[in-house]
Structure 1
Amino acid sequence: MPRTRTSNRELFSLFRTAATVDFCESCAQVCTGQCCADALLDRARTQALQLHSRSAAADNASGIAVALEAARIRTPTMPDGAGLAVGFLDAEEIGARGSAHHAPTVAPDTVVINVDGAQLGDAPTEAGGPAHALLAALDQAGRETGVPPRAGAMASGNRRYAAAGLPAAGIGMGIPGYQTPAETADRVETHTLVAATRLVVATVRQLAGSVTG
């Protein structure tokens, strides 16, 4: 059987998505240039080797816990004319491919709140896209709950949604031991999970009120 040689260009195409922007390995943020295929493949191999040893207690188990609890609290009280959806994405550690694939399919009137982790600390928040109303809602929610968001880099799926033209915010409340065996459940602080949930619930309430009010 003849051997088939796969070039770097062909390998790179396996990791391309339908998104109009790419995730830049050098600056760790969404940019308009193409990423280096070798760097992307190296990252994929590294992530694959780490999977067996990761507990993922913070990223992304704590973030999922916050999203599910916030949805449980808010769903029964959502007003007419406002919807609520929760999404969980795969392939995020390989150039945010999951959100890159999903973002173009999201309705244009959607507001995105991405919770990457809630293990400890305050609420560094990064907003993108047409996010003025979202930032106002986050600010008011922070005042109500005593969990004020502060400006901070959040290199996660929120950048893919912002690049697709959606108002998007990424919230990350600490991920010690990020993607190592030290990222364990005993390091997740209960009061931080509660604080993150309260912030998200209050923000959704503010946004829903602005839609129906």
Structure 2
Amino acid sequence: MRRLIIIGAGGHGKVVADIAMRVGYRDVAFLDDAEGLAECAGLPVVGRASDWGSFPDADFFVAIGDARARERIQRGLGGRAVTLVHPAASVSRRVEVGRGSVVMAGAIVNSDVRIGEGAIVNTGATVDHDCRIGRFAHVSVGSHVAGAVTVGDGTWLGVGSVVSNNVSICGGCMVGAGAVVIGDIKEPGTYVGVPARLLR
């Protein structure tokens, strides 16, 4: 198994490192721009994010929560980002998971789902049949996405949020923790409450 370099030595990076080791990586290290940071989760920090070119034989994963930063860094890697799926996730045989995406422990992704590149399906989240999860989107911990939902590029579904079936959410949205989306969202912005409404 090749070496894995994780860009981003924060909480998200810690979880990604555990997944990487569970799927067989034995040589895992981090790159991070924090001054004086020598280790993360017991693994070495071997340079800054911009140092990725110093590791020509490594695989990479961008473990940064901010969607725009994650996209910018992953684009710079030129196709070298890998996809990680935790062994304790349940992912249908008919799911497409894009490059640089992660599906975490306890997540359930059902039949005929497409997950774009750089996306996060976080711990215990569920994505039901025929959904489209956009590039660099984030389905947060314990979120539930019903069938035939479209989540646009870069959209963040907050912790414990719920999206009803046959709903479309445009790109660039933030859906607050515990919010319930029952109708299409066509305007980027922050949506909170039950039912979810645009926060002005």
TM over 0.5: no
From the CA coordinates, give the structure whose radius of gyration is larger: 1
Give the TM-score normalised by structure 1: 0.27
Q: Which is richer in strand?
A: 2
Whose relative contact order is higher, 1 or 2, with alpha carbons under 8 Å and at least 6 apart? Answer: 1
In the superposition, the TM-score normalised over structure 2's length comes to 0.28
